[in-house]
Structure 1
Amino acid sequence: MKNILTILGCSLFLVSCGGSSNSEYEDYYDADKRAAATEEAAAPIEQTKVGTDAAVNELTDSAAATGEQLQAQNYEQGAKLIAMSDCLSCHQEKQKIVGPSYVDVAQKYEFNDKNVDYLAGKILEGGAGVWGQVPMTPHPDLEKEDARIMARYILSLRKK
């Protein structure tokens, strides 16, 4: 009788919580869905690189527009990738928490390919000593290109 009441109580609890489907958490933690979301976020950059001849001609007609468009795409995609990761538990855009703010990082490193690669490596491998002795955890599950997009976003926050 006790077992039946326990099972009944657990069943009622599960039903009141929405059953066994906790899609809010499954969406976040399901690696396949996160990978698909990352691919969707990266799609506009690939389309810009590979697009049709007309689109390429249109973009190359205005070098300033191309730079602004790529920077806007990097900004959006980088912000999405960071939001999907655990980065915000230690970093904020303008305020130091455990690690430096993204604006502080952008002020320290000039926006160029060398620094994008350096910061992407730090994101993937972690490290310590540059901003103090608290180590940054590695993120080996990230794709290298995603880490580069995140680094571009961070460096785009540089104040002129």
Structure 2
Amino acid sequence: MKLQHLSYLAAIVALMSCGGGTEKQEAPAAAQETVKTDISTNPDYQKGLALVAKSDCLGCHKIEDKLVGPSYVDVANKYPSTTENITMLANTIIKGVTPDKAIWGKLPMSPHPQLSQADAEQMVKYVLLLKK
């Protein structure tokens, strides 16, 4: 009987020791979420937010909900943060969009020719940081 218990104990120890050394430990979900969502200290976030706050963008766009145009989160989820996308989206902000070229429906987007390319790109960088 003691031999049988010893065999069970040996089997349990063997099972517990299998595969434990090669897997990476992940941070708890709460810690990952904090790191993932704490973008407020990012300089691109701060500069872009300030520019958006001074503009008329919030008349048509909201951060998480569709208003007239798509939400910023929807834009961020659609476009990866690449140099090409930042330039293209900044040009869209400056030049606007006619209904026949609209990507998010048939509504036009007003042009913003008063914005510099650098400011428009900074605004886009802010928006793309909102990706969920």
Counterpart of 1:111?
81
Counterpart of 2:115?
142
| Aligned residues: CA RMSD | 1.7
Deviation at 1:148, TM superposition (A): 0.3
Give the counterpart letter for 1:131 in structure 2.
W
Q: Which has the higher contact order (CA 8 A, sep 6+)?
A: 2
Q: Which of 123, 129, 132 is the equivalent residue of 2:93?
A: 123
Deviation at 1:141, TM superposition (A): 0.4
Q: Aligned to 1:149, what secondary structure does the other structure show?
A: helix
Paired residues, number: 91
Within 1, Cα distance between the matches of 2:92 and 2:78? 14
Deviation at 1:107, TM superposition (A): 0.4
Counterpart of 1:91?
61
Mapping 1:18-97, distance limit 5 Å? 72-97=42-67
1:157 is aligned to 2:130: yes
Within 2, Cα distance between the matches of 1:79 and 1:126? 20
Percent identity (aligned): 46
Q: Which runs of 5+ in 2 are unaligned?
A: 1-37
Q: Can you list the C-alpha shifts for 1:42-68, whole angstroms capped at 9, x where unaligned? A: xxxxxxxxxxxxxxxxxxxxxxxxxx9
Within 2, Cα distance between the matches of 1:116 and 1:79? 16
TM value normalised by structure 1: 0.55
Q: Aligned to 2:42, what secondary structure does the other structure show?
A: helix
Within 2, Cα distance between the matches of 1:142 and 1:114? 19
Within 2, Cα distance between the matches of 1:94 and 1:74? 19
Within 1, Cα distance between the matches of 2:74 and 2:52? 16
Deviation at 1:122, TM superposition (A): 0.5
TM value normalised by structure 2: 0.66
Q: Which runs of 5+ in 1 are unaligned?
A: 1-67
